[in-house]
Structure 1
Amino acid sequence: MKKLPVCLALILSALLACCQRPEEAVPPSSLLPKEKMVQLLVELHLNESRVEAAHLRADSSQALFNQLQKDMLWRHEVTDSAFWQSYRYYAVHNKDLDELYGIVLDSLAMRKAQLQH
């Protein structure tokens, strides 16, 4: 009898996944271009590294990261909602997010190589 709720949950999640197919997702009106998303994601991950390197307490780290993210979005003239809506849209389109993160990883690897020389 315990298997019944698990089976129903699996069937329900499969049905929901079918209803939210990536090719049917409507892009948000404020969708950021891939190039802009790459810039923001690279900077976001660099900020995360800076915060980790600071060795602060968890609450201070979170506050610093939030401020760095806010400053980053302000400098790029992007709203928080536009960034997260675009991120969610690209995440629904797995191949798009994979492509974005491939470029992000290459950019971060290039920066690391430049710093080591």
Structure 2
Amino acid sequence: MKKLPICLALILSALLTSCQRPEEAAPPANLLPKEKMVQMLVELHVNESRVQGSGLRADSAQALFNQLQKDMLWRHDVSDSTFWQSYRYYAVHDKDLDEMYGIVLDSIAMRKVRLQTLPPQ
């Protein structure tokens, strides 16, 4: 009979420690810094826009996007799993992802302005 309360206490403590709130979740060991994530997200969305504007069929467009994504990860020396683990971590922390996407949108808007002000060739 004495073992029952001890078992319940152990189970309860295991459940409580495994159900951490997002702000308490430990970052992954290979978490990308916010600045690098912003650079990669800008590039990812620019690539997505390029593929959408290419006029390719869906399967060809998907293959092109996948290749551009692989190239981006290679250039930044980041594995696919590291990128997505970092993205998920920042997504759980809404403020971080909101802040990062504010910078991403500003960066893309600045690129657009620069492209529009280039003289015609």
TM-score by length of 1: 0.82
Q: Which has the larger radius of gyration?
A: 2
What residue number does 1:90 align with?
A: 90
CA root-mean-square deviation: 0.8
1:42 aligns with 2:49: no
Determine which structure has the larger helix proportion and give its number. 1
- Which runs of no fewer than 5 residues in structure 1 stay unpaired? 1-18
- State how far apart, in whole Å, the 1-side matches of 2:72 and 2:51 are: 14
Secondary structure of the equivalent of 2:53? helix
Q: Percent identity?
A: 81
Structure 1 outlier segments of 4+, above 2 Å:
none
- State how far apart, in whole Å, the 2-side matches of 1:53 and 1:45 are: 12
What residue number does 1:110 align with?
A: 110
Q: Deviations over 1:78-111 (max 9, x none)?
A: 0000000000000000000000000000000000
- Note the 1:72-83 alignment, pairs <5 A: 72-83=72-83
- State how far apart, in whole Å, the 2-side matches of 1:83 and 1:90 are: 11
What residue number does 2:21 align with?
A: 21
